[in-house]
Amino acid sequence: MNLFSLASGAGAPEGAPAICSRKACRAGADWQLLWNNPRIHTPERRKVWLSCTEHRGWLEDYLQTRGLWKETLPFTAGTAIGEQQGGNS
Ligand SMILES: [Zn+2]
């Protein structure tokens, strides 16, 4: 099932710019959408999609429709949580 392939960039390589997860959008990320798929993830696990302000609503709706959305938090460099690649700080 390739339902989530549109956001396969989540967890980008270290040093990659934090950009919107929406396909074909290259805007900088302003939001991080936390989600969990209970069919494949443990309940405490959080996947993260980054989103620009324009696509925040679209991505939230996408996740909410499927019952996966958990919460949306402001994104600023260094505040990513969940499974975005980070350092060892
Ligand atoms: Zn976008």
Considering the domain boundaries, does residue 50 fall inside one? yes
Q: How many CB atoms lie within 10 A of CB 10?
A: 18
Alpha helices (H) along 1-89:
53-65
Considering the domain boundaries, does residue 88 fall inside one? no
More confident: 40 or 89? 40
Considering the domain boundaries, does residue 66 fall inside one? yes
- Domain span at residue 31? 18-74
Determine the pLDDT at residue 76: 82
Distance 20 CA to ligand 1 centre (A): 5
Return residues with CB closer than 5 A to ligand 1 (ion).
Answer: 20, 22, 25, 27, 52, 55
Considering the domain boundaries, does residue 54 fall inside one? yes
Distance 18 CA to ligand 1 centre (A): 11
- At 63, is the pLDDT very low, low, confident or very high (cuts 50, 70, 90)? very high
Overall domain count for the chain? 1
Considering the domain boundaries, does residue 84 fall inside one? no
Considering the domain boundaries, does residue 6 fall inside one? no
Question: What separation in angstroms does the CA of 80 have from each of 2, 25, 42, 46?
Answer: 25, 19, 20, 11
Determine the pLDDT at residue 87: 43
